[in-house]
């Protein structure tokens, strides 16, 4: 097949993070299955990403030494988790033939692909550990086409810093089409470039529960037996751990957490929070499907709670500046589910057994999907 037929996606596909991997898979499946695109995910992972997800961090002082010591107590779980992510990547993704670790290496892809898509996820967050201008497609030659699908800045506006503004403005202006995930991102790009910017849902939302269950082998029976509460996020604070313990005592259901490093670091056993025994996106979807209640502070925890029609609550821990970080609020507003966004004091007063009515959210999501599909079709046919 000639270069003119091929598209390449660059995203956080190699992150040890269920949301990142599942959004990468969803976009690729839509491109290939719905639109017949010949698509590869560029097998790119920079040094920052490798360090971010390494079993232990380089010891630079007492703090990092203590972290490593605590992580060593769950070493087998961390290794099991990493193996599950690697297995998922090789099982489900269609990757580029070669692997890449730098922008310089990525320039070779210009002779193999005609269209390059960045996104979704926080690929335009310039302050994350694995940030890289490769996700702004700086390696793509002007003879090829650049597209952004539902990219997120992770609440960090690169155009607000005068020392960085011109650099990122030059990169973004070269895009043929741009869509972002949140309202603030849309406002920032529009103000900086003067261009029309589309608002598209995260790729995970493009597939229904039934489509996800056909796409990923999550199992036909629950991994965890009995009723349970599932807390999903990359991190957990002492405040949230204490709250979850209170909910567990009140409901009589155990709480399960997904991240062994954070579980050990925050000594979650003190609040009787249990660590899951199986890892990877397949297990995550199983836990999500069969959970009685889901609590999350994660965008993708919110997304999959909605897809699977769960009784879920987004915990507003009070640490986010919503004028900048509107990732959860923007999404919940789009789906008319803002009543699921509550502070811990509000949650302690609420009847947590009341599940959302998904009639209106489903209608809103159907419309958002159509808008996203129209945008993707525009890329494929461009």
Closest CA to 117 of 151, 82, 156: 151
Q: How far separated are the first and last CA of the chain, in Å rounded? A: 18
Residues 6+ away with beta carbon under 8 Å from 270: 241
Q: Is the peptide bond before 120 cis (omega within 30 degrees of 0)?
A: yes
User: Could you read off the pLDDT of 30-70 as tens digits, one per residue?
Assistant: 999 999 999 999 999 987 676 766 777 777 888 889 999 99
Mean pLDDT of all residues in 196-225: 96
Residue 150 CB-half CA count within 13 A: 26
* 59, two tokens: 């010891």
> With contact defined as beta carbons under 8 Å apart, do 129 and 234 qualify?
no
Domains, in order of start, for the chain: 3-206+366-381 (3.40.50), 218-363 (3.40.50.2000)
Q: How far, in Å, CA of 135 to CA of 87, rounded?
A: 24
135-169: pLDDT as tens digits: 999 999 999 999 999 999 988 899 998 899 999 99
- Tens of pLDDT, residue by residue over 187-198, are 999 999 999 999
User: Strand ranges (DSSP E) for 214-352?
Assistant: 229-232, 255-257, 274-275, 293-296, 312-316, 341-343
């Amino acid at each position: 097949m000639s270069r003119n037929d091929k598209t390449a996606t660059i995203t956080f596909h190699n992150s040890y993070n269920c949301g990142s991997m599942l959004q990468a898979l969803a976009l690729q499946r839509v491109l290939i299955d719905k639109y017949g695109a010949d698509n590869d995910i560029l097998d790119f992972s920079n040094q920052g990403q490798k360090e971010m997800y390494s079993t232990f961090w380089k010891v630079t002082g007492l703090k990092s030494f203590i972290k490593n010591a605590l992580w060593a107590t769950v070493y087998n779980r961390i290794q099991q988790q990493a193996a599950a992510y690697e297995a998922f990547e090789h099982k489900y993704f269609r990757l580029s033939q070669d692997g890449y670790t730098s922008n310089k290496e990525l320039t070779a892809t210009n002779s193999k692909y005609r269209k390059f898509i960045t996104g979704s996820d926080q690929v335009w967050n310039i302050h994350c550990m694995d940030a890289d201008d490769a996700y702004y497609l700086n390696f793509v030659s002007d003879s090829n086409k650049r597209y952004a699908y539902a990219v997120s800045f992770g609440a960090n506006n690169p155009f607000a810093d005068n020392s960085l503004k011109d650099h990122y403005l030059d990169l973004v202006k070269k895009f043929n089409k741009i869509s972002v995930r949140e309202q603030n991102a849309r406002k920032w790009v529009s103000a900086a470039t003067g261009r029309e910017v589309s608002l598209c849902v995260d790729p995970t939302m493009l597939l229904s529960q039934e489509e996800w269950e056909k796409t990923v082998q999550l199992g036909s029976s629950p991994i965890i037996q009995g009723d349970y509460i599932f807390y999903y996020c990359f991190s957990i604070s002492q405040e949230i751990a204490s709250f979850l313990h209170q909910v567990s005592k009140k409901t009589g259901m155990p709480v399960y957490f997904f991240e062994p490093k954070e579980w050990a670091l925050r000594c979650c056993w003190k609040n009787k929070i249990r660590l899951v025994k199986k890892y990877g996106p397949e297990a995550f979807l199983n836990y999500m499907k069969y959970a009685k209640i889901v609590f999350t502070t994660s965008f993708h925890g919110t997304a999959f709670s909605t897809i699977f029609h769960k009784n879920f609550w987004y915990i507003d821990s009070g640490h986010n500046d919503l004028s900048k970080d509107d990732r959860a609020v923007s999404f919940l507003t789009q789906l008319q589910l803002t009543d699921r966004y509550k502070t811990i004091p509000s949650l302690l007063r609420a009847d947590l057994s009341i599940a959302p009515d998904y009639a209106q959210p489903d209608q809103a999501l159907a419309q958002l999907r159509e808008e996203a599909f129209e945008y993707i079709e525009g890329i494929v046919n461009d």
